[in-house]
Amino acid sequence: MHDFDEIGVPPGADLVWRQRSLESWLRRVLSYQAEGVDVLLLGQSPIGEVLAAPSAPLLDGLAACVLDVSDAERLHRLDRRDPGKWSPAQRAAFVHWGRWHRGHAADPRHHPEVLTSGAWPRMAWDRWDYYEAAWPVPIIDTTGRTVDETSGALRDWIGRGPFGQ
């Protein structure tokens, strides 16, 4: 299990940085795959971005879910973690990013320009073409759950097998 941000997030990290870093992570995942080891990668790259990464076709399998929280709880956690750090505009951006993830999890056609506009040129967005209506990306709502309850929900999702079905 790895957190995407283990590699460090530079000041001014942007969409292209995230997509290039995702590709680096996928190459690392492929080395685990060669050893027969499954990987759980936590991060902000949605399934559409993962599918479009250059190394994605080399993966033996892929499953994704969204760990989510209500907008109000997201803001509460930001305030508790970093009191006074986030401007109203930054707070709104966190909420909108969470809402976008919910929409993207339900429908690959949900505002794809969020990922594709100004993207890293090596991304292959046409890999989404065969998803006409939905893809299997469940949302695990952590609002009101303890860490143990959230961990249990994640374990249950993993236990259901490929694509968490």
More confident residue, 86 or 163: 86
pLDDT-derived band at 128 (thresholds 50, 70, 90) equals: confident
- The sign of the torsion formed by the CA atoms of 31, 140, 51, 133 equals positive
What is the mean pLDDT of the segment spanning 125-152?
Answer: 88
CA distance 91 to 75: 7
157, exposed or middle or buried, with CB in 10 Å at 0-12, 13-18, 19+?
Answer: middle
Instruction: For residues 121-132, give the mean pLDDT.
Output: 87
Domain that holds residue 160: 2-164
Query: Model confidence over 61-95: pLDDT tens digits?
Result: 999 999 999 999 999 999 999 999 999 999 999 99
Mean pLDDT of the chain: 92
How many domains is the chain partitioned into structurally? 1
Q: What pLDDT, on a 0 to 100 scale, did the predictor assign at position 162?
A: 58
Q: What is the CATH number of the domain that holds 49?
A: 3.40.50
Q: What is the mean pLDDT of residues 28-32?
A: 97
Query: In this structure, are strands 2-3 and 139-141 parallel, antiparallel, or unpaired?
Result: unpaired
For residue 47, the tally of other CB atoms under 10 A from its CB is 23
Strand 66-68 to 2-3 pairing: unpaired
- Longest CA pairwise span in the chain (Å): 46
Q: What angle do CA 54, 59, 63 make, to 5 degrees?
A: 105
pLDDT for 24 beyond 80: yes
164: pLDDT strictly greater than 70: no
User: Using CA of residue 146, residue 152, residue 158, residue 164, what is the dihedral sign?
Assistant: negative
Instruction: With beta carbons less than 8 A apart as the criterion, state whether 53 and 19 touch.
Output: yes
